[in-house]
């Protein structure tokens, strides 16, 4: 996808941007979903998941792999 031009508009006492249908489809989002603006090399990027939550889940996956036998015993 090439760069999309977005215009900042006034929404009440705030400002916002309107995402075109193509961008919403590519992000797999619908009206009312939450987006996250994260820093990236050379600027920012918009993602549809919480990067902090993803890091926490990766740490949990590591523990679950390492302690698989213990977790199975606790689940009984």
Neighbours of 24 (CB within 10 A): 14
Rounded to a whole number of angstroms, the distance between the first and last alpha carbons of the chain is 49
Provide φ and ψ at 38, rounded to 5°.
Answer: -120, 150
Give the global pTM. 0.57
Cα–Cα distance for residue pair 71/63, rounded to 1 Å: 10
Question: For residue 36, what are its two tokens?
Answer: 């996250």
Task: State pLDDT tens for residues 2-13.
Answer: 788 899 999 999
Q: What pLDDT was estimated at residue 12?
A: 93
Please state whether beta strands 36-40 and 43-47 pair in parallel, antiparallel, or not at all (unpaired): antiparallel
CATH number of 8-75: 2.10.260
Assign 49 a pLDDT band (cuts: 50, 70, 90).
Answer: confident
């Amino acid at each position: 996808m090439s760069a999309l031009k977005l215009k900042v508009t006034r929404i009440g006492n705030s400002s916002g941007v309107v995402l075109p249908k193509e961008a919403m489809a590519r992000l797999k989002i619908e009206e009312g979903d939450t987006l996250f603006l994260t820093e990236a090399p050379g600027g920012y990027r918009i993602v549809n998941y919480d990067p902090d939550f993803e890091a926490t889940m990766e740490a949990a996956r590591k523990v679950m792999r390492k302690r698989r036998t213990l977790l199975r015993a606790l689940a009984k």
